[in-house]
Amino acid sequence: MRLTQGTFSFLPELTEAQIRAQVEYALAQGWAVSIEYTDDPHPRNTYWEMYGNPLFDLRDAAGIMQEITACRATFPGSYIKVNAFDSTRGWEAMRLSFLVNRPPQECEFVLERQEIDGRRLRYTTRREPARTR
């Protein structure tokens, strides 16, 4: 199942040039770019591992592209995303976040229905098969 999380996730995979252009755009807006990876891309998992420190004060995408390449080489079997954080007062939030790497074998999720209190339903998204560490 193709994971659709973050910006551009319904589009075909971004090429290197497209990723670079997006990063350039983020830098031009004054956003701080960071790279995160995880082997647990459950939609409720908001805490991905940081790859190095957020890359503050960069002017050109070259440094970030280098980090993305390094992260892919280190964690080829992980999901990797690029985030752009806007520190402007009032925003102080992630403005852009998109996937740049997927494992060869994508994760599967199943929707589980549980009947509670008579006919009421409770839904859970569960990873299938369960993650083995």
Partner 1 sequence: MSAHPISSVAQEPAQQRGADIVDFGAALADSQVPQILLQLDQELVGLRPVKTRIREIAALLIIDKLRKSVGLQSAVPSLHMSFTGNPGTGKTTVALRMAEILHSLDYVRKGHLVAVTRDDLVGQYIGHTAPKTKEVLKKAMGGVLFIDEAYYLYRPENERDYGLEAIEILLQVMENQRDDLVVIMAGYKDRMDTFFQSNPGFSSRIAHHVEFPDYTSEELCEISARMLEATNYRLSAAAQEALGRYIELRKAQPHFANARSIRNALDRARLRQANRLFNTGAGLLSKEQLMTIEAEDLLASRVFGPGG
Among 3, 54, 55, 103, binds partner 1 (CB under 8 A): 55
Can you tell me the distance from the alpha carbon of 100 to that of 38, in angstroms, rounded to the nearest whole number? 12
Region of 59-67, 82-90, 104-112, 122-130 interacting with partner 1 (CB under 8 A):
59-67
Closest CA to 124 of 12, 44, 7: 44
Strand segments, DSSP code E, in 10-92 are: 32-38, 49-50, 79-86
What is the contact mask toward partner 1 in residues 15 to 54, using x (rule: CB under 8 A)? ----------------------------------------
Instruction: Specify which residues 82 forms β-bridges with.
Output: 35, 98
Residues that bind partner 1 (CB under 8 A): 55, 57-64, 66-67
